Amino acid sequence: MATLAERLTEALRQKKLSNREAARALRRAGTPISHVYIGLLCNGNRVNPTLEQMEALAGLLGTTVGWLAGEDVPREPAPRSERAPTRAEEQRPRKVLDDLDALGVLNVAERMTGLSPLSIDAIATMVEAMRAAEQLDDRHDA
């Protein structure tokens, strides 16, 4: 049976990803991990990543958690419609709502439900006018 280190190294090599590139992609997707930790996993010096890290690595590398862990299972994941969502996929909508709430716009977004495209365009125009009045640039800096 293959090891996590062997499978992770193989999958990274096939995707032509460095440890640093993989870690950067995973952090952007919301999974905190460092390139050093990925290197430790590849070298076999760490063997017990979290389920969240394994799911994120498998997703990034286009494989299954079982295959990555060294199990004798198919490498290719089942189509999304045939599998249960990962914990990260289940938590993503909640995170979006939490982020909107933290920005103070969740109530506005909820109240826009059902508005016509014309009304939504009018709201966007008003927001841009307010940003211009407060001299905020288009990069959405606060």
- 81-109 pLDDT per residue, tens: 555 666 666 766 777 777 777 888 777 87
On the 0-12 / 13-18 / 19+ scale of CB atoms within 10 A, 27 is middle
Query: Left if phi > 0, otherwise alpha if psi is -120 to 50, otherwise beta: which for 40?
Result: alpha
Give the domains, in start order, of the chain with CATH numbers.
Answer: 4-77 (1.10.260.40), 87-133 (no CATH)
Q: Is the pTM here over 0.85, yes or no?
A: no
- From CA 120, how far away is CA 50, in angstroms rounded? 42
